[in-house]
């Protein structure tokens, strides 16, 4: 088998890259280690930047997000028992769209199948070969049979634990990492959300986040210990802690109900440099991770594949590799700014016992200043709606 571009991973990065390349007339094959159902079963991001929505439209899969996505023109910050708005539309002229990553993935999977594009699910022992030369190829085992795909380029869209970044020789890659001393316990429940806007709460008991997937489905999080297990948290325990961390005006709006998904995610900041190694490009979580506080993970992944798809299209249509040669620099410039915002927002909103009473006061002082400064609110708003590609 042969294809111009082999894409490793059928998460949002891999599927969006595949769809954009198809739109630009560049054939590609996606190779995924899990089943489609398994990929769809992961509950992750919920907020899309306009750049991401525009890319979904460019890829021909913008219909449902246009029809069902909820437009938010502000988000909420709660602290000291008070509720404050960060007015995105007034500060930037832009909004964010609330639409779950699961639905983005579903739309991309359906479009890929409708276009008759080749996707290999449940591929075992995926391995990358020859990407330091001019004849890269990918091998895997499917139903016990060894397979090989020759290609011009490999796109490593296989996430933080994938094989792509791990295939790069250690002396050719530099990584930067910060692991946070807590996790997020997330719950999905078919109950009406307390707000159609995203609510971020700084509280002495710990951080809480209120989000949604639709007017009837809520997505809530509380900061938890890394020693916690999901089994330590009954639904009742979650609802009680969630309410305790919100101002009364918001806690009174909580409708409780049984969880349909409950999971704990660790938080880290991570970047691998560069994002290109010969004929291998890294995109999305394979190259970088942000703490989800700033709702940047999925959006950074979309930005990477927006740049990479256009650069690959230029290579095939105009026989120029200029944009490919500049991909890593351009992608990393945007990645590091999102890493900064996500780190700053996480540091400001979560409880860090090791920082003591002074550290807690510095957080409140930062929040007080934010709410008193139009300049700072504009800076926060332009990072939250997403920086230009």
Which residues form the interface with ligand PHB (CB under 6 A)?
A: 45-47, 198, 209, 211, 219, 292-295
DSSP letter (8 states) at residue 310: H
Q: Are 299 and 48 in contact (CB under 8 A)?
A: yes
Q: Are 257 and 236 in contact (CB under 8 A)?
A: no
Per-residue x/- mask for ligand FAS, residues 245 to 284, rule CB under 6 A? --------------------x------------------x
Within residues 120-139, the interface with ligand FAS by CB under 6 A covers 123, 126
Residue 293 binding target from ligand PHB, ligand FAS, none, CB below 5 to 8 Å by type: ligand PHB
Residue 31 in the binding site for ligand FAS (CB under 6 A) = yes
93: nearest Cα among 383, 388, 382, 387 = 382
Residue 32 in the binding site for ligand FAS (CB under 6 A) = yes
**For the chain, what is the largest distance between any 2 Cα atoms, rounded to a whole number of angstroms?**
64
User: Binding ligand FAS by CB under 6 A: which of 301, 307, 332, 338?
Assistant: 301
Q: For ligand PHB, give the closer residue by CB, 213 or 334.
A: 213
The helix/strand/coil state of 285 is helix
Q: Which helix (H) or strand (E) holds 63?
A: helix 63-68
Residue sitting closest to ligand PHB (CB): 46
Q: Return the residue matching tokens 């109900």.
A: 257
Per-residue x/- mask for ligand FAS, residues 91 to 110, rule CB under 6 A? ----------x---------
Q: Total number of residues binding ligand FAS (CB under 6 A)?
A: 32
Cα separation, 159 vs 177, in Å, equals 15
The helix/strand/coil state of 78 is strand
The helix/strand/coil state of 198 is coil
User: Binding ligand FAS by CB under 6 A: which of 88, 157, 224, 271?
Assistant: 157
The helix/strand/coil state of 140 is strand
Residue 158 in the binding site for ligand FAS (CB under 6 A) = yes
Exposure on the CB side of residue 366, measured as CA atoms within 13 A: 16
Residue 376 binding target from ligand FAS, ligand PHB, none, CB below 5 to 8 Å by type: none
Per-residue x/- mask for ligand FAS, residues 161 to 200, rule CB under 6 A? -xx-------------------------------------
**Burial track 328-360 (b if 16+ CB lie within 10 A, e otherwise):** bebbbebbeebbebbbebbbbbbbeeeeeeeee
- Closest approach, Cβ 127 to ligand PHB, in A, equals 33
Residues at the contact surface with ligand FAS, assessed by CB under 6 A: 8-14, 31-34, 39, 44-46, 101, 123, 126, 157-159, 162-163, 265, 284-285, 292, 295-298, 301
């Amino acid at each position: 088998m042969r294809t111009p571009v082999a894409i490793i991973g059928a998460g949002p990065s891999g599927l969006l890259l595949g769809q954009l390349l198809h739109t630009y007339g560049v054939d590609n094959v996606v190779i995924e280690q899990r089943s489609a159902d398994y990929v769809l079963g992961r509950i992750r991001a919920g907020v899309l930047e306009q750049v991401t929505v525009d890319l979904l439209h460019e890829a021909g899969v913008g219909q449902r997000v246009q029809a069902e996505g909820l437009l938010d023109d502000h988000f909420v910050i709660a602290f000291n028992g008070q509720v404050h708005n960060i007015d995105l539309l007034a500060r930037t002229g832009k909004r964010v769209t609330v639409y779950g990553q699961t639905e983005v993935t579903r739309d991309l999977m359906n479009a890929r199948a409708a276009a008759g594009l080749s996707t290999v699910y449940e591929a075992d022992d995926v391995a990358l070969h020859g990407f330091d030369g001019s004849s890269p190829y990918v091998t895997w085992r499917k139903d016990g049979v060894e397979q090989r795909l020759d290609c011009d380029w490999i796109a490593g869209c296989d996430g933080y634990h994938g094989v792509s970044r791990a295939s790069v020789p250690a002396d050719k890659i530099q990584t930067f990492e910060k692991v946070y001393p807590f996790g997020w316990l997330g719950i999905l429940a078919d109950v009406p959300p307390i707000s159609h806007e995203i609510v971020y709460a700084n509280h002495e008991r710990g951080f809480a986040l209120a989000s949604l997937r639709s007017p009837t489905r809520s997505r809530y999080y509380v900061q938890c210990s890394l020693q916690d297990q999901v089994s330590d948290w009954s639904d009742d325990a979650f609802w009680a802690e969630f309410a305790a961390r919100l101002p009364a005006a918001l806690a009174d709006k909580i409708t409780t109900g049984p969880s349909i998904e409950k999971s704990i995610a660790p938080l880290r900041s991570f970047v691998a440099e560069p994002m290109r190694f010969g004929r291998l490009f890294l995109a999305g979580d394979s190259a970088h991770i942000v703490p989800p506080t700033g709702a940047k993970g999925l959006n950074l992944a979309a930005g990477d594949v927006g740049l990479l798809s256009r650069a690959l299209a230029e290579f095939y249509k105009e026989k120029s590799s200029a944009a490919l040669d500049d991909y890593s620099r351009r992608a990393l410039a945007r990645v590091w700014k999102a890493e900064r915002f996500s780190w700053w927002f996480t540091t400001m909103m979560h409880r860090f016992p090791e920082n003591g009473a002074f550290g807690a006061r510095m957080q409140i002082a930062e929040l007080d200043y934010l709410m008193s400064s139009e300049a700072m609110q504009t800076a926060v708003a332009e990072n939250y709606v997403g920086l230009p590609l």
